[in-house]
Structure 1
Amino acid sequence: MAKPVATRGFARERVLESALELFADHGVSGTSLQMIADRLGVTKAAVYYQFHSKDEITLAVVKPVFDDIEHLLRITETLPTPEARRSVSMSGLVELIIRHRRVSSVFYGDPTVHHLLEGNDEFRRLGDRLADVLLGPDPDTATRVAISMLSAGIHGCVTDPMIGDVADAELQQILLDLTKAFLDVCVHD
């Protein structure tokens, strides 16, 4: 009797899940396609059938995060004022970073991922749009520093093992409260 064959979509998801586990343990640069194949118990050719490179796997792992950012931007870019766009964007970012906490924990600060995203036109354009919404028109130096500090702080909190035991809902509420307070104090349009 022939073994049942998994659909290609299911196999791709298995590759992505295994890759994410290995990226968490070894970083992106420390993970090879052979390691992913070994984790799955398949040949390297089977992984190549799903994805043509480790870069393609890495981009596929982060794509859901960027899809959510795209959705958030479609909403915020319709708002009438820079303040409203910034506020909704920051709230949305907190929510989506919490939702993608596992991916954020693996990829935040990884220079390989940063370089890969900077070299990808689609992701870079999305990052530029997000920066435009967060910074507003003609941002002064203090605003640029404040938004950078706040963004890094949100990512840092979500990825910090010291608060890894904090439930998502509680962490989200605390980050939303702190984000609002920070923006009220530091950013004046």
Structure 2
Amino acid sequence: MAAPAPEDTYDKVLGAAVELFAEQGFAGTSLQAIADRVGVTKAALYYHFRTKDELLDALLRPALNELDRVLDAAERRKGQAVRQRVLFEGYVDFLLRHRTLAVVLDRDVSVGSHPAIRPRLESITVRVRGILDDSERPVEFRVASTVAMGGIYSAVAVFPHLPDDELRSVLLDIVRRLLTPRGGRAAASGAD
């Protein structure tokens, strides 16, 4: 039987790593465990990743780049309500595409506070706050928008087996209700 192609091994290592990080945490997962899960030697794993830190970066960098694109799209829109709607919809879709990573980040705080990741997450947090911050709105709205962001993340991590379309629909409906002033139009909706 032929050895897997290096690209194949790379993708399999990433897949096994995210599964094991979700199951055992980042600190609780060794490179040997990842190699065993993939069915390769530790030397074959070292061909792609010398350390777990390199592996973590390879897992998170593409996802965080994608989240930056969601934020870029929201920031380009005119009007606070439209920016917020684009952010919430993009964030839900982003988390649904990266459910396992959301679980890893939710369950293992060491990943989010890792020195290689923390500055990037802090930058993203600042950008999210900039989109959500609407000092013209009552404090109730500002608190609701913050609750909505955290709730989306938590729900994706807590309900990993709900189908994507069902969870997306439920989450966006809840966000709409949270951000709709009593007796008014949805604050996070509007035309482009």
TM-score, length basis structure 1 = 0.82
Structure 2 spans left out of the alignment, 5+ residues = none
Report the 3-state secondary structure (helix = DSSP H, G, I; strand = E; otherwise coil) of the residue aligned with 1:77.
Answer: helix
User: Aligned ranges for residues 104-183 of structure 1 at < 5 Å?
Assistant: 104-116=102-114, 119-136=117-134, 142=140, 145-160=143-158, 163-183=159-179
Deviations 1:27-85 (A, max 9, x none): 11211112112222323232222113212212322233212211112211111122221
Mapping for residues 16-165 of structure 1, pairs under 5 Å: 16-116=14-114, 119-136=117-134, 142=140, 145-160=143-158, 163-165=159-161
Instruction: Give the distance between the partners of 2:187 and 2:165, measured in 1 at CA.
Output: 29
**Are 1:117 and 1:124, in contact at CA under 8 Å, matched by a contact in 2?**
no
Higher helix share: 1
Once the two structures are TM-superposed, the CA of residue 145 in structure 1 deviates from its matched residue by 3.5
Cα distance change on mapping 1:118 and 1:15 into 2, 3 Å? closer
The Cα shift of 1:144 comes to 5.1
Tell me by how many angstroms 1:140 deviates: 7.4
The separation in 1 between residues aligned to 2:162 and 2:105, in whole angstroms, is 20
Alpha-carbon offset, residue 156 of structure 1: 1.6
The Cα shift of 1:179 comes to 0.5
RMSD, aligned CA? 2.9
Query: How many residues are paired up?
Result: 185
1 CA distance for matches of 2:8 and 2:153?
A: 30
Identity within the alignment, %: 32
